A and B are shown apart, each in its own frame.
Chain A
């Protein structure tokens, strides 16, 4: 092999498979727990509280929250999957092997982010299937639904990967998801339409990137959106581009990896 050689696809496959194996090994944590928590959301918000809430945009409240719930899990799981996947080898030291292997940064990214994104996409679909047991669902734009699902999973897995490289302690690893992502998701219209907010808050909310993800995703289900779909897609792509730029910088400088 020389530097003009094709990619080390065997390495990409080896890492990807290892990451997927981890998910199946911890099947309880990876799959069962989100199913349970989603069911709880439906019991509480869908049935208990939701039965007293009128329809939003002509959609029953239980059905209305499905895209938001999927996004909530998609964001948090993508971040935690990817951040843990790269932080753990750093923590135990087994990352030496990855760094000494003939793999490019691009290959590392494709394998780890691909693994994390695959897991959260599977998770999103499991939540969707669980939701279908509780509420009648319709998906008006299946292509865009899948597109938003994949795009969001990849973007936030990339974001999680960055956190995993940046984090020096387990506490830091939890910090960003806990202090930033979860609040943004809850305030991003998972459980309500931002039109329901009073004046100034509606404007403030527009600075929350998660609003665009949830809005676009909900549009793909019900054809109704808080902001236009084009803007949603654009914002998602901007965030993806920002993550790619940060990762490129990390790898160019060897930041917290090769120092």
Chain B
């Protein structure tokens, strides 16, 4: 796959001297769903704002489908739709007027049928004559999305799309993201809800203190950094771990009824099979066993912890 967005050497230092971004290099592949994860203040929104033309970069270059965002800003920006984090809408405009306005702003010829389809897809059609100020928070969020989709973008940025959004809207939103992806739209999203990145993203980038600390395919990331845990429920409580089992990273619960073994899913040394054999040899019996993979969230927390 070729990259649709190419960010190289981008830095941003605000007038206050705050270095929001230090040397960002990142390529977004055509048609993928890319999740940008990072704690508050990591630089996610600054990075998105630079690509979209809202904030000037201090140095570096960005191209969108080969168009430089500075020299060739018209071509670059007309490909991008942005749904910002904050619900910022001219409150006194109607839904219909503001979505058509967005389409015009991006230089597209009026197309009532298309705008109607966008509004219907987002369950906003009934509200088309309502003023933005009268809409609920969730409806306003839908309206922001409708505005971003009104000009048929090839790249869609969703900045914290599901912050403070109810379950129904969240599911609608993910259904929409999947549909857009089927149409070949590239989607870049930032989120705090890592389980969503886990469910949706093809690749994950982690940004912290203005630096990209990792970019990986989600599956590889889970495999590489993920850990497995096996929990054994013992038939009889143990007072202490037998000496013969010390080579395993075992943890005994306070009541002595549960034994937890954490291991790297990449290597199987020392393996699960040998642990079970050794348990049997030591005369420790169990009546149930449970294994689980670490979630992206745990991986993420670990990554940030490792940062100096």
**A interface residues with partner B (beta carbon < 8 Å):** 1-3, 5, 8, 10-11, 13-15, 17-18, 21-22, 25, 88-89, 92-94, 96-104, 254, 258-259
- B53/A94 in contact, CB under 8 A: no
- A259/B72 in contact, CB under 8 A: no
The residues of A that contact B71 with a CB separation of less than 8 Å are 3
- B55/A8 in contact, CB under 8 A: no
- A258/B82 in contact, CB under 8 A: no
The residues of A that contact B100 with a CB separation of less than 8 Å are 14
User: Among B106-114, B115-123, B195-203, B287-295, which stretch is in contact with chain A?
Assistant: B106-114
* Contact for B86 among A5, A93, A98, CB less than 8 A: A93
* Contact for B104 among A14, A89, A104, A259, CB less than 8 A: A14
Q: How far is the CA of A39 from the CA of B29 in the complex (A)?
A: 65
- A8/B74 in contact, CB under 8 A: yes
- A1/B107 in contact, CB under 8 A: yes
Q: How far is the CA of A215 from the CA of B86 in the complex (A)?
A: 49
| A258 and B54 in contact, given A2-B74, A102-B74 (Cβ under 8 angstroms) | yes
| A11 and B75 in contact, given A93-B88, A259-B15 (Cβ under 8 angstroms) | no
Q: How far is the CA of A101 from the CA of B106 in the complex (A)?
A: 6
| A3 and B97 in contact, given A92-B91, A99-B53, A258-B55 (Cβ under 8 angstroms) | no
**Nearest CB of B to A6, in Å:** 10
- A96/B54 in contact, CB under 8 A: yes
- B105/A101 in contact, CB under 8 A: yes
* Inter-chain pairs besides A2-B75, A88-B90, A100-B54, 5 sampled, C-beta below 8 Å: A1-B107, A14-B103, A93-B84, A102-B77, A254-B56
**Nearest CB of A to B78, in Å:** 4
- B74/A1 in contact, CB under 8 A: yes
The residues of B that contact A99 with a CB separation of less than 8 Å are 52-54
Answer yes or no: B102 CB below 8 A from chain A CBs: yes
Q: Which 8 A-B pairs have the closest CB atoms?
A: A14-B104, A93-B88, A102-B74, A102-B77, A100-B52, A102-B78, A101-B105, A8-B107
- B56/A22 in contact, CB under 8 A: no
**Nearest CB of B to A183, in Å:** 32
Instruction: Give the residue name and chain of the A residue nearest to B57 (CB).
Output: A258
- B105/A98 in contact, CB under 8 A: yes
**Nearest CB of B to A100, in Å:** 4
The residues of A that contact B82 with a CB separation of less than 8 Å are 96-97, 100
Instruction: Give the residue name and chain of the B residue nearest to A15 (CB).
Output: B105
Instruction: Give the residue name and chain of the A residue nearest to B89 (CB).
Output: A94
| A102 and B54 in contact, given A1-B107, A10-B109, A14-B104 (Cβ under 8 angstroms) | no
- A2/B72 in contact, CB under 8 A: yes
The residues of B that contact A102 with a CB separation of less than 8 Å are 73-78, 106-107
Instruction: Give the residue name and chain of the A residue nearest to B53 (CB).
Output: A100
For chain B, residues 205 to 261, give those with C-beta under 8 angstroms from any C-beta of chain A.
Answer: none
- B73/A10 in contact, CB under 8 A: no
- B86/A97 in contact, CB under 8 A: no
For chain B, residues 27 to 73, give those with C-beta under 8 angstroms from any C-beta of chain A.
Answer: 49, 52-56, 67, 71-73
| A96 and B84 in contact, given A3-B72, A102-B75, A102-B106 (Cβ under 8 angstroms) | yes
| A22 and B92 in contact, given A98-B105, A100-B54 (Cβ under 8 angstroms) | yes
Q: How far is the CA of A94 from the CA of B78 in the complex (A)?
A: 18
Instruction: Give the residue name and chain of the B residue nearest to A21 (CB).
Output: B97
- A1/B108 in contact, CB under 8 A: no
The residues of B that contact A21 with a CB separation of less than 8 Å are 93, 97
**Nearest CB of B to A99, in Å:** 4
* Contact for A92 among B14, B49, B90, CB less than 8 A: B90
The residues of A that contact B14 with a CB separation of less than 8 Å are 259
- A11/B91 in contact, CB under 8 A: no
The residues of B that contact A98 with a CB separation of less than 8 Å are 105
* Contact for A1 among B56, B75, B101, B109, CB less than 8 A: B75
Residue with the highest number of chain B CB atoms closer than 10 Å, among A3, A8, A100, A103: A100
A sample of 11 cross-chain residue pairs with beta-carbon separation below 8 angstroms, ordered by A number, consists of A3-B74, A10-B109, A14-B103, A21-B97, A88-B90, A96-B52, A96-B54, A99-B53, A101-B77, A102-B107, A103-B105
Q: How far is the CA of A171 from the CA of B71 in the complex (A)?
A: 37
Q: How far is the CA of A104 from the CA of B78 in the complex (A)?
A: 12
Q: How far is the CA of A22 from the CA of B91 in the complex (A)?
A: 12
| A3 and B75 in contact, given A100-B52, A100-B54 (Cβ under 8 angstroms) | yes
| A11 and B54 in contact, given A2-B75, A93-B88, A96-B84 (Cβ under 8 angstroms) | no
**Nearest CB of B to A191, in Å:** 36
**Nearest CB of B to A73, in Å:** 24
The residues of B that contact A15 with a CB separation of less than 8 Å are 101, 105
